[in-house]
Amino acid sequence: MRTAQPALRVPAGDPLAGERYEVEVGPVAHGGGHCVARHEGRVLFVRHALPGERVIAQVTEGTTKSRFLRADAVEILTPSKDRIAAPCPFAGPGKCGGCDWQHVTPGGQRKLKGQVLTEQLAKLAGLTPVEAGWDGSVEPVGGKLPAGEVPRWRSRVQYAVDQESGRIGLRKHRSHDIQLVDQCLIAAEGVAELNLEARDWTGLASVEIIASSGSSDRQLILTPVPGEQLPLVELERPVSIARIDEQDNFHQVHGRTFVRERAAGRTWRVSNGGFWQIHPEAPDTLVDAVIEGLDPQWGEDALDLYCGVGLFAGALADRVGDDGAVLGIESNKQAVIDARHNLAALENVRIECDKVETLLPRTGITATDLVVLDPPRAGAGRETVQHLAGLEPRRIAYVACDPAALARDLGFFRENGYRPVSLRAFDLFPMTHHFECVAILEPAAK
């Protein structure tokens, strides 16, 4: 018996891709590295533009019936003072989608990110920067570079393989198409030194490289094209090699199953390509901000939610001491195994494996002194926030990689009697629209 195939959804209206409009560029928008412009009453989300510029925008997506159009600025008529020539030859309209702001000065990038955070706080939390305890700045991380030089911060890069040439590249914006590259300017030195772009990767769908910033460990994770054999890989430097099968299972081929990272005074094992902050200075930067904001005291109890391999739990355990206790909750089984290994010497730490929203109500915990939560991009959500507020912690540290999710959850905390007393934003993803925040909350009555 044949089942009916779902009909392909065809956008209504006549396609407008390729149409060009002269527009005045408005404010930066959240997500995607684009700014808002309008043409004959219709909204355009324009990439490769800057607020205040006058540009020729070429439509990349949308029809005559679309609520909004997507476009690229293909000609700059009146440039912003923050505009520079993109250092990367693969950045620009129709090219690599990995970077959003190659055409912007470092200070201009941080200004744009600050404008996004300000807008999201107002829109979703009803907070001004002053009410959020934020000075309005996005802090640079790492030393100052000579003009025109790009920070090499990306210690993990996933390349796609062009099936015709066997060469690797990066995906174009909102596309499966591949931009072949001979180097990625933001790739960390440990990635760049392997010169993966010069090799033939025929038979593979993707090549992911992890270069530890805390050791000499390198891990190559290869995904073969279905039905193809894994090729023999020989590189000039020692590299562990793993394979991802058609069910997304991880298989070690050669070397270690993990890389060793160094942060917060400890060595951390991160296995099977698991999560670790990509910017080499991010772990220490975030730990310092969290610990400074919480000011943990000897003997206090703490929760580390979405704890990963235990980074914040370890820092908390050192401060609360033997008379205190830290409970970490993480849903990824391998991360839990790593966290237990990494913190095995600390008797005041316990790591449990489950979803936070599932396990937290079952722990029997009715009160705690401190909370760290570093949720996924979607945020913690109303129910988890409500539960945490009910535990009446003295302080909460919220680590956020998405300003919209942060603002939404700050609004939930506000409904439940907690207010931000400080907020810091860090430029841990230069050249992209991403950044990281740490908010410290206290009971509003205090």
Looking at residue 123, the DSSP 8-state letter turns out to be I
Strand partners, 140: 427
**CA separation for the pair 111, 291 (Å, rounded):** 26
Structure tokens given for 265: 């005074």
Do residues 371 and 399 make contact, with C-beta atoms less than 8 angstroms apart? no
Sign of CA dihedral 68, 70, 75, 79: positive
Query: Cα separation of 110 and 138, whole Å?
Result: 6
Do 67 and 83 meet the contact criterion of CB atoms below 8 Å apart? Answer: no
Amino acid at 376: P
From 35, 96, 307, 401, active-site residue? 401
Is 96 an annotated catalytic residue?
Answer: no
CA distance 279 to 127: 29
Task: Give the residues across from 430 on adjacent strands.
Answer: none
Nearest CA-CA partner of 153 in 347, 436, 376, 365:
436
**Residue in the structure block whose two tokens are 């599932």:** 358
Q: Are the C-beta atoms of residues 163 and 169 closer than 8 Å to each other?
A: no
Direct distance between the N- and C-terminal alpha carbons of the chain, in angstroms, rounded to an integer: 67
DSSP run (H or E) holding 357: helix 356-359
Question: What number of residues does the chain have?
Answer: 446
Residues 6+ apart with CB under 8 A from 241: 219, 220, 222, 233, 252, 253, 254, 255
Q: Report how many helices (DSSP H) and strands (DSSP E) the chain contains, helices first.
A: 8, 22
Amino acid (1-letter code) at residue 74: V
Q: What is d(CA 10, CA 66) in angstroms, rounded to the nearest whole number?
A: 12
- To 5 degrees, how large is the angle CA 193–CA 196–CA 202? 165
Could you please report the per-residue DSSP string of 241-276?
A: EEEE-TT--EEEEES-SEEEEEETTEEEEEETT---
Residues with a catalytic annotation lie at 401
